[in-house]
Amino acid sequence: MCGIVGYVGTKKATPILINGLLSLEYRGYDSAGIATIENKKIIVKKDKGRVNNLYNLDGINNLNGTIGIAHTRWATHGKPSKENSHPHMDNSQNFAVVHNGIIENYRKLKDFLISKGYSFLSETDTEVIPNLIDYYFKNGVHIHEDKFLSSVKLAVGDLEGSYAIEVISPLFPDEIIVVRKNSPLVVGKANGENFVASDIPAILSYTKNFYLLDDNEFGVVSKDNIKFFDNNLKQYEKNLKNIEWDASSAEKEGFEDFMLKEIFEQPNSIRETIGSRFSLGKPCVFDDLDISKEYLSSINKIYIVACGTAMYAGLAGKTVLEKLCKIPVTVDIASEFRYRNPLIDDKTLCIYISQSGETADTIAALKLAKLNGAKTIAISNVIGSSITREADYSIYTHAGPEIAVASTKAYTSQIVLLSILAMHFAELLGSCPLNEIENLKSDILDLPSKVQTILDDTTKIQDFAKQVYTQKDMFFLGRGTDYAVALEGSLKLKEISYIHSEAYAAGELKHGPIALIENNVVVIGIITDEKLVEKSISNLQEVITRGAKTLVITNQNIPNSHFDFVINIPKTDSVISPVLSVIPLQLLAYYISKNKGLDVDKPRNLAKSVTVE
């Protein structure tokens, strides 16, 4: 959830730290702070609210230290407040810490430290960390010649949960110590200065060379050197990766909001996701996916496991996988999957989807599958993310950085990638006529231009948004893949407009939900499968007779005289129709939110990367 930045070099740390935090605002947060070393003392400046508030704190412009750490917090323990903001220090003010994650046993550790004479200023779980480091620094049996590193190692050995941690100390004024477990952390290398961050975009403007930390790895970062140690504090060399992202991709490029920019980037993100994975008349290619026909023939089920929008992309993927591969597919919520003793063995293939690659519940579910002998595939948008390092195989959407909290281009790219994966499996298995696969390939290749067609004229969607933005409740209806898209459309509306909405399989309407339909209630129907047109129209007619205001999104020739608004979209194969039908729903949620005057990119209570369970 939180964002982390660190700097050590020859320049003033404060501007670099704050600039890094500004680049991490998309993760969602409620407070921010920095700590630097000034004249052999740690100086902390922090407060609740936006990163820009730091500029107004007394004395922050007088900080000249060339080493520092910074943090944006999303509250898990303790309300948003100055006291609960990071960084946190120990009682002796010898150590300052920023932490992303959650310490599950902090109460036990806090009681232990209190028994040793320590006191606490905040309600957070994080404050136990600097005090534990101080305790071991003074009392520990040190296992390394670097007493600072040894103390951090002893302290994190007591922690249960997830963490990415940065530590500085005036006793060791030239180095930052970092460590991670189940929470992202990278170290950026430059000339005479080095950087730390929870996300690459935070420091991408300073360097394109990165070390990606793995679980239980420690780093000692100084301005001229970066040393890495394993969990036994044995030093080793680590590969440096060059990340050729364009830092300007994190800018709005003339769009009013990141979310709108990312909606309009979807033709390109889909094109990039397709990449060179297939062309007409040639089989699909996944260079990093060593899965054979023999293995696919041996499995009896596939799980697709994810959270939120990624899970809804999985529902669309289920349809195409089952149709082409003839293998049963179950889509499950990651936070539920791991606690219900799922039936997993070596005949199970598990696919895990996470835009950030850091979703804690999804990573935990993946680890469970591996323990039970299943092969695992990660689908992510972030190269080198935690989930891609845990999985047996990883494939990437290549959608580019997604800054807005509400996911748009990641969703459509995930569906496209799942569809290509299904075609690849079907080609290996020989489970589907080649002409059907070729037709689907043709339709997928046409998706970027068809998405662009929808984006070229948003007038009707904007008009409908103006009419309904004051509503308190809305309903989304669909059948088959249209129901999968209804779920995602409903989620988008909830996320950024705070309007209560529900999605239902249209045939279920009469089994209870129709009791909620009354005069002027908004009902949105999606109709893209020619086999289900008559049934879907019949379901919508039931709400019209009860006074509902209706919007229909369709690629079918339907009589529209009974509907208030109809948005026509291009035709495509029904299994990939969610890629097109979701675009008007993304735009509708966006324009409703804008009409309400809300912060589209940073909806309340939400964060981009959910790294706590």
Give pLDDT tens digits for 73-122: 877 777 889 999 999 999 999 999 999 888 889 999 999 999 999 999 99
pLDDT for res 612: 47
Position 428 scores a pLDDT of 96
- What average pLDDT does the segment 593-611 reach? 82
Residue 339's pLDDT is 86
Burial readout 307-316 (b: 16 or more C-beta within 10 A, e: otherwise) = bbbbbbbbbb
Which residue in 45, 181, 375, 608 is the catalytic one?
A: 608
Annotation marks residue 2 as catalytic: yes
**Which part of the chain is CATH 3.40.50.10490?**
251-454, 459-595
Indicate if the pLDDT at residue 274 is higher than 70.
yes
CA–CA gap between residue 551 and residue 525 (Å, rounded): 6
d(CA 398, CA 396): 6
**Band (319; pLDDT cuts 50, 70, 90):** very high
From 217-226, 262-271, 515-524, the region with the lowest mean pLDDT: 515-524
Judge contact between 149 and 139, C-beta under 8 A: no
Mean pLDDT of the chain: 91
**Those residues with Cβ within 8 angstroms of residue 404's Cβ, 6 or more apart along the chain or in another chain:** 26, 257, 258, 259, 262, 600, 601
| pLDDT value, residue 607 | 66
- Which pLDDT score, from 0 to 100, does residue 560 have? 64
Active-site residue among 2, 284, 307, 325? 2
As a whole number, mean pLDDT of residues 460-483 equals 93
Checking if the pLDDT of 335 tops 60, the result is yes
Q: What is the pLDDT of residue 515?
A: 65
Fill in the DSSP letter of residue 319. Answer: H
The DSSP result for 278-318, as a single string, is -BTTB----TT----HHHHHH--EEEEEE-HHHHHHHHHHH
Q: Please report the pLDDT score of residue 384 as a whole number.
A: 75
User: What's the confidence (pLDDT) of residue 32?
Assistant: 94
Residues of the chain with pLDDT > 90, as a percent, come to 70
pLDDT at position 15 is 96
Q: Is 472 a catalytic residue?
A: no
Q: Which secondary-structure segment (H or E) carries 453?
A: helix 434-455
- What Cα–Cα distance (Å) separates residue 454 from each residue in 271, 449, 464, 587? 16, 9, 15, 10
pLDDT of residue 558: 83
CATH of segment(s) 459-595: 3.40.50.10490
Of 174-178, 199-203, 552-556, the range with the lowest mean pLDDT is 199-203
Does the global pTM surpass 0.85?
no
Q: pLDDT tens digits for 51-72? A: 999 999 999 999 999 999 999 9
Residue 426: pLDDT over 80: yes
Mean pLDDT confidence for 589-597: 97
450 has a pLDDT exceeding 70:
yes
- Determine if residue 222 is left, alpha or beta; phi over 0 gives left, psi from -120 to 50 gives alpha, anything else beta: beta
**Which DSSP letter does residue 229 get?**
E
In this structure, is the dihedral angle defined by the CA atoms of residues 484, 489, 490 and 491, taken in order, positive or negative?
Answer: positive
**Residue length, the chain?**
613
Instruction: Considering the chain, tell me which residue range(s) the CATH 3.60.20.10 domain(s) occupy.
Output: 3-249
Task: Please compute the mean of the pLDDT values over residues 291-304 and round it to a whole number.
Answer: 96
Hey, what CATH topology would domain 3-249 get?
Glutamine Phosphoribosylpyrophosphate, subunit 1, domain 1 (3.60.20)
Answer yes or no: CATH 1.10.10.10 is held by domain 251-454: no
Output the pLDDT for position 247: 56
